[in-house]
């Protein structure tokens, strides 16, 4: 069924907000009660937490020292540089230093207190070999050696 472009964009953004809220609820509930599996324990309850400041999809997230970091993604058809941190103890979000390169559909992994973001795609849709590291203590990014091949959506 054909829908006007504006209506499709509005539906996608609405879906992105819903996905962000579900994602945050699952992960923050898991963090608070001791692990992601605990969020689904028999007799458990769902609670609504502070919404993510930037509605988006295609972002990546990981936890460093009990704080959840949401990195990159897509909003309004553009890849984002946004980095936001959620502290489940205070139920509050803070904006962090943006990624040097806007990316969506990347991969992320936390190692020894550093977030590593791998690959992904820019707004033009082309995958990248870029690897960058975010240090939450200094709120800064460092370029790392690129991957040997392009990767996204992994």
Classify 5 as helix, strand or coil: helix
pLDDT score for 146: 94
pLDDT score for 98: 97
Over residues 5-41, the pLDDT tens digits come to: 555 455 544 544 544 454 544 444 444 444 444 445 5
Dihedral sign (CA 27, 13, 85, 78): positive
Among 54, 26, 61, CA closest to 41: 26
Over residues 107-146, the pLDDT tens digits come to: 999 999 999 999 999 878 899 999 999 999 999 999 999 9
Give the CA angle between residues 27, 153, 11 to the nearest 5°.
70
Measured in degrees and rounded to the nearest 5, phi and psi for residue 113 equal 80, 10
* Mean model confidence pLDDT for the chain: 82
Among 82, 84, 20, CA closest to 57: 20
């Amino acid at each position: 069924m054909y829908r006007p472009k504006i209506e499709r964009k509005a539906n996608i953004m609405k879906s992105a907000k819903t996905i962000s809220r579900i994602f945050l609820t699952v992960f923050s509930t898991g963090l608070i009660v001791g692990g992601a599996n605990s969020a689904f324990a028999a007799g458990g309850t769902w609670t609504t937490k502070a919404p993510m400041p930037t509605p988006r999809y295609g972002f990546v997230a990981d936890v460093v020292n009990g704080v959840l970091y949401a990195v990159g993604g897509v909003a309004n058809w553009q890849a984002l540089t946004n980095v936001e941190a959620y502290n489940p103890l205070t139920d509050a979000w803070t904006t962090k230093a943006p990624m040097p390169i806007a990316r969506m559909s990347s991969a992320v992994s936390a190692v020894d207190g550093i977030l590593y973001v791998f690959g992904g795609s820019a707004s033009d849709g082309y995958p990248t070999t870029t690897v960058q590291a975010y240090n939450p203590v200094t709120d800064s990014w460092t370029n790392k050696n690129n991957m040997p091949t392009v990767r996204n959506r992994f």
